[in-house]
Structure 1
Amino acid sequence: MSTPRRPRRTARLLAAFATLALVLAPAFADARPGGGISSGSRGSRSFSAPPATTTAPRQAQPMDRTLSQPSAPRPGVAGAAGPVSSGGFGRGLMGGIAGGLLGAGLFGMLSGSGFLGGLGSLAGMMGFLLQVALIGGAIFLVMRLLRRSAPRPAMAGGPSGSMPRSGMARMMEPGGGMRPAMGAGMGPSSVVEILPNDFEAFQRLLVEVNAAWSRRDAATLERIATHEMAEYFANDLRDLTARGWANQTRDVALEKGDLAEAWAEGRDEYATVAMRFSLIDVTTRIADGVVVEGDPAVRQTATELWTFVRRDGGEWRLSAIQQSS
């Protein structure tokens, strides 16, 4: 007796949707401000990794999203690395493999064959589930390889002779100011002295950015961040809303921080600060408030490099967020 085709087709559709969920879920594994990727601009040093610090001893990840353009190479100076494209499965050979796996698997599921086709009804159901696991696992591994294989720009310069004092609180002690790390020149620039009140501003902005993000307060984000960063935040918030999700980051506490480098370019002054902070990071469904990511009772820890910029000695604004490798 033949097996009804409708349940089998329904099972294939469910398996296909499950595969898509596995593929798309990592994109929002970090829904906090910045989305767990590197975004923004650091002036002429956007394609040069900040010097390592005690808070972030590893090289920072290159920019995934930036409006900056690589500087033209100068004689005797290594050229800056090109911008890193953020783009799904479209990164060279690995992207083709990932797209092929996804396309072949989904088409096979819907047509009744897939990678493990030709099985009976019960065995076929088990085959569908196994296909979901195989395809999802393969895509996950490919995406990890894509991130790891992204070109890492050469470091602008090694740490300075006197390592910065770690801990934002200690850096803000009277007389406890810190000498910036001395990076190699990337065009006309000069070292900028960062004072205790500047570090207080950086710590305050860490809290304010997260609070504005949680409120979806576009006006405040536009005021305390550059227009570029505010646009990235707005796009990320729209993507979350389109999924029916809302992200809340609260109780942000700076655990440790130190200066990577500070420099001037014309009227603009930049400061890149490594910060390790803890927070409550929870993503919920807008419709019913059900938690889809995170735990309201468990603090999470993140280490990021935030770059701030000010013009003519004005207020500092967030210019970039980079992930620590």
Structure 2
Amino acid sequence: MMNLASRRSRVMIALAAALVFAGSAAEARVGRGGGSFGSRGARTYTPPPATRTAPDAAAPIQRSQIPNQGPNVTRPGMPAPNVAQPRRFGFGTGLMAGLFGAGLLGLLFGNGFFGGLAGLASIFGLLLQIGLIVLLVSFAMRWFRRRQQPAYAGPDQGYARSMGGSVPPAGGGRPMGGGLGAGLGGGLGGAMDGLRGMAQNTQRRPGVRDEIGIGEGDYAAFEKGLVELQDAYSREDVAKIWTLATPEMAGYIQEELNDNAARGVVNKLSNVRLLQGDLSEAWREGATDYATVAMRFAITDVMIDRTTGRVVEGDPSRAEEATEVWTFRRDGGGSWKVSAIQQA
């Protein structure tokens, strides 16, 4: 019996270890390991509109540096909710209340309406006392109101990463792992086909929320960002990742690379090719532009043992398809950078 129980225990432990490794190895490709993460400005927690490429709702953002304050958050362009204004204490109201109160006290004590005023030495002394009290109360109210005002970091301010392994590389920055991999086999060879398809799908859809006027040059930048970010991720080129994504996204992606290194594996990606894509929405917040794009693409995705080079997950001879919703951000008319990835 003891041998049977011991054998069962060993089998259960082996199965559990295999499941844990399979679950971690399946976290391949940029974004898959982190789920849906990043920031979409004021629309971070608002679902992007469905498209032909991604007809189902995109997975909600799970990790973001923008706090989720619920449905009562005021969005740009929306009227602010009616909030009851606090009562303000002015000098005039305090003065009249003091005079009236002093008169009532005089009546109560049988000295007449103005008897209370005389009991306080003089009307000028009463005015001086009331004035000092009103000034003190006004100063205290202003001080408390200032303390209660929330501090808000605007969207144009930079992101600060405090977690380990999420700081931008200094200087040129060498790729992690000594530049492993030879890049993407597909490259940008099929860029024009994917670009035309993305533009045509968007033009056929009536009522697309495009507040910027996305053109073919922008679609080309989106497809280039998809391919180049997968390439940099495969080569573990951290310096390149920080040029293609926002600081927040680059920090998250670098954490995924650090996790792969800790497990002793390398995620090799190749033959990335955009199959279909269309614009979900595009909008502007101050000097910052946002564009959310649904993209279905083919990719060869394998996990390789860092020491032996043995394939531990995936098929290097077969390309798989994936559909994701990517948001790009452009600050002050600069280049588009990846700011969020959502699983479709």
| TMscore range, shorter length | 0.5 to 0.7
1:226–1:318: 8 Å Cα contact kept in structure 2? Answer: yes
Q: Could you tell me which residue of structure 2 aligns to residue 170 of structure 1?
A: 197
2:265 to 217, 237, 245: 245
Q: Could you tell me which residue of structure 2 aligns to residue 86 of structure 1?
A: none
Question: Offset of 1:178 from its aligned partner?
Answer: 7.9
Q: Could you tell me which residue of structure 2 aligns to residue 289 of structure 1?
A: 309
* Number of residue-to-residue matches in the alignment: 226
Instruction: Report matched runs for 1:227-246 at 5 Å.
Output: 227-246=247-266
Q: Considering only CA atoms, is the larger Rg found in Structure 1 or Structure 2?
A: 2
Tell me the amino acid that sits aligned with residue 19 of structure 2. L
Look up the SS of the partner of 2:42 in the other structure. Answer: coil
In 1: Cα distance, 2:314 partner to 2:269 partner: 10
Question: Offset of 1:318 from its aligned partner?
Answer: 0.4
In 2: Cα distance, 1:210 partner to 1:178 partner: 28
Tell me the amino acid that sits aligned with residue 329 of structure 2. V
Look up the SS of the partner of 1:261 in the other structure. Answer: strand
1:19 aligns with 2:16: yes
Look up the SS of the partner of 2:231 in the other structure. Answer: helix
Look up the SS of the partner of 1:211 in the other structure. Answer: helix
Q: Measured at CA, do residues 251 and 180 of structure 1 come closer, stay the same or move farther in structure 2, by a change above 3 Å?
A: farther
Q: Which runs of 5+ in 1 are unaligned?
A: 80-165, 183-189
In 1: Cα distance, 2:339 partner to 2:287 partner: 15
TM-score computed with the length of structure 2 as normaliser: 0.60
Instruction: Report matched runs for 1:108-127 at 5 Å.
Output: none
Q: Measured at CA, do residues 258 and 35 of structure 1 come closer, stay the same or move farther in structure 2, by a change above 3 Å?
A: same
1:34 aligns with 2:17: no
1:317 aligns with 2:337: yes
Q: Supply the RMSD in Å over aligned alpha carbons.
A: 3.0
Instruction: Report matched runs for 1:216-235 at 5 Å.
Output: 216-235=236-255
Look up the SS of the partner of 2:49 in the other structure. Answer: coil
Q: Measured at CA, do residues 19 and 240 of structure 1 come closer, stay the same or move farther in structure 2, by a change above 3 Å?
A: same
1:244–1:287: 8 Å Cα contact kept in structure 2? Answer: yes
2:229 to 209, 215, 218: 209
Question: Offset of 1:191 from its aligned partner?
Answer: 1.5
1:218–1:234: 8 Å Cα contact kept in structure 2? Answer: yes
Question: Offset of 1:64 from its aligned partner?
Answer: 2.0
Question: Offset of 1:28 from its aligned partner?
Answer: 3.5
In 2: Cα distance, 1:56 partner to 1:196 partner: 20
TM-score computed with the length of structure 1 as normaliser: 0.63
Question: Offset of 1:168 from its aligned partner?
Answer: 3.4
Tell me the amino acid that sits aligned with residue 196 of structure 2. A
**Deviation by residue 1:90-129 (Cα, 9 ceiling, x = unmatched):** xxxxxxxxxxxxxxxxxxxxxxxxxxxxxxxxxxxxxxxx
Tell me the amino acid that sits aligned with residue 57 of structure 1. P
Q: Which runs of 5+ in 2 are unaligned?
A: 82-192
Look up the SS of the partner of 2:254 in the other structure. Answer: helix
Look up the SS of the partner of 1:255 in the other structure. Answer: strand
Tell me the amino acid that sits aligned with residue 216 of structure 2. P
Look up the SS of the partner of 1:44 in the other structure. Answer: helix
Q: Measured at CA, do residues 178 and 269 of structure 1 come closer, stay the same or move farther in structure 2, by a change above 3 Å?
A: farther
1:200 aligns with 2:220: yes
Q: Measured at CA, do residues 241 and 304 of structure 1 come closer, stay the same or move farther in structure 2, by a change above 3 Å?
A: same
